[in-house]
Amino acid sequence: MQIIRASDMGFCWGVRRAVDMMEQQAAGGLPIISLGSVVHNEQVVEHLRGRGVGVAASAAELSGDRVAITAHGVGPQVLQELREMGKEIIDTTCPIVTRSQRWAKKLADEGFAIVIFGDPNHKEVRGVLQWAGNRGYAITEDEIDSLPGDMPSRVAVLSQTTHNPQRFANFVALLLRKRIDRISDLQMINTLCHATSGQQAAAEELAGLVDIVVVVGGRESANTRHLVEVCQARGVATHHVETESELQPAWFDGRERVGVTAGASTPDFVIDAVIARLEQFSSAVPA
């Protein structure tokens, strides 16, 4: 059995930047509490905890003077709340997310409804929605009919950064088809992140080369789950694991080539451990 790595996988530069910023700040000796998990990956959270970066689930649970905003960003009300609490804010929001937030605020201020193609419960989307004030709606392609009839006729469409480009394009087309009688002006702002679309393209390519794929990443990680969807859509057997301990030898019975890919929040040391475990069954070759 050969092991083939995706040509693009693992930490994106935005997550690497956020983790580096937090580690550097904590290295000074003053602890930091991050507001929510840095990324959707338990192993990264533990790694950072060992370096003085704790986690609080909400502002009410924060201790200490210093708080880090994660790469997903937060909305203006959260920032205001932290300022009123007198916290020193270390903002590691990914610049690509910041760009989405700025577009949402600018166009909402101009009177547009802000329709975000995304999951309203995802941390990044919750933040962008707050920047859109009371003009924001986060929906997927199945929920277009739920948009209110009295929504502003000028509509700006943004995407959760980690979504699949083709799905976003289809969403925009469907929105226009379904709402053409109620839209006077439609602006599509491409807020997709190329880091994840590159990883999705690499996963798709990988799925065409192998007969089983292992996708490594946190169960709560949206971009990891998208990689699973991409591989499944190619009809290849796909298993999502968080760590090497979940690998089951029976999955690989009769398989000749196994592909490995990983979400943008998966650190190198977790990927390496998965590959090392797979190598116990086989020999590795480069992609």
Among 22, 33, 68, 96, binds ligand SF4 (CB under 6 A): 96
- In angstroms, what is the minimal distance from the CB of 191 to ligand SF4? 9
- In angstroms, what is the minimal distance from the CB of 39 to ligand SF4? 8
Asked if 188 interacts with ligand SF4 (CB under 6 A), we say no
Active site positions, annotated? 124
| Token pair listed for 41 | 């990956």
From the list 9-17, 26-34, 104-112, 210-218, the region that binds ligand SF4 by CB under 6 A is 9-17
Residue 78 vs residues 6, 121, 125, 128, 175: alpha-carbon distances, Å: 37, 16, 14, 12, 31
Asked if 13 interacts with ligand SF4 (CB under 6 A), we say yes
User: Is the Cβ–Cβ distance between 212 and 239 less than 8 Å?
Assistant: yes
| Token pair listed for 238 | 């796909």
Among 130, 196, 197, 238, binds ligand SF4 (CB under 6 A): 196
- Please, is 285 exposed, middle or buried when counting C-beta atoms within 10 Å of its C-beta (0-12, 13-18, 19+)? exposed
Closer CB to ligand SF4, 96 or 212, in the complex: 96
Site residues for ligand SF4, 226-285, by CB under 6 A, read 264
CA 242, distance to chain mean position in Å, is 15
Q: How many residues bind ligand SF4 (CB under 6 A)?
A: 15
Residue 71 vs residues 15, 20, 178, 199, 264: alpha-carbon distances, Å: 6, 11, 34, 18, 12
- In angstroms, what is the minimal distance from the CB of 238 to ligand SF4? 20
